[in-house]
Structure 1
Amino acid sequence: MVSFNTLLLIATASSALVIQKRDTATILSDIKTINTNLNALTSATTTYTGGLIQALPISNAEQTLDTSIQKAGTDAKAQTTPLTSAESLQVLAAANNLTTGINGTLVALSAKKAAFQSAGLTATVTGDIITLKTDTDVLSAALVAVASPDTKSQATALQSKINDQFAAASAAFAA
């Protein structure tokens, strides 16, 4: 015979397995958070004049940004059904707005290359750019995967545009 405690344990354990529903609002909220964090990283980078200590705000902002990109990727991958055309267009518009922030951040980082070199941080910044690109690739792929069929080509084009921005920043640090 099954005891009451066993049933209670099973009920408690199964309720802990409830998966949070992810929807368009979650994806849009995640993109908004990424935009805020892009602006913070751009600001920290723009005010950087050199040195290890002054680089800490950049490092912190990069880590916060990366965490938000990872969360957005996880949330987008949890979207189990394709978005509607209207939802896909909303997400595309929000993601397209991110390209300005992404470009601004990467240009700001590239503009500070000499200061990063002087502080011995070139490898660190290059690694951060690679990490951000890798996690952005995961997010982009997830967004393309859930896009409605009629918007997949737009989503793929946006993904290419973002990849080009990262390639330009990587090339700037490789030179």
Structure 2
Amino acid sequence: MAKLPAQPGTTQMTAGNSTPLSDGSSAVVIASDATVAELGLRRWPGSSVHALEPGLMGIAPAWAMPKVITAAGIAPVEIGVWEVHEAFAAQALGVLREPSTQFKGFEIPDDRLDLNGDAVAVGHPFGASGTRYLLTLAISMRERNARYGVLGCVRGLGSRV
């Protein structure tokens, strides 16, 4: 990794620590509670948005995830799958530091984090990333029979859900 050249106009971003641009499309199905129950789908207990200064783009999920977990009345140890958008490797590490501060020492277990790869590994389909992550989260939850999952996804200019 240390031998990879920096991307044009940067000093530290390489193909090894940044997401590749990739094609994608997305669709979302909205259903009634009855249909969700009939199909055996999971309930969505909440969402949260957190904004930071634009120069801090990428780390807002560190605050959005604890907000939604707390508001939903869920303990972080109950989360079976954590999906954290990894736009850049260093950015994801920054996001992963904060939960231990907000949850009194809790650290996201490696065996519950980004189980099917992340944007650095899988790609970053602009315009479809959120839906791609949501589907990945749903699949991972189903595979592990997890009751709860959380998704921290970034967007430009410092805010995130």
User: Which bin holds the TM-score, normalised by the shorter protein?
Assistant: under 0.3
- Please state which structure has a larger fraction of its residues in helix: 1
TM, length-normalised to structure 2: 0.26
Structure of higher RCO (CA pairs closer than 8 Å, 6+ residues apart): 2
Please say which structure displays the higher CA radius of gyration: 1
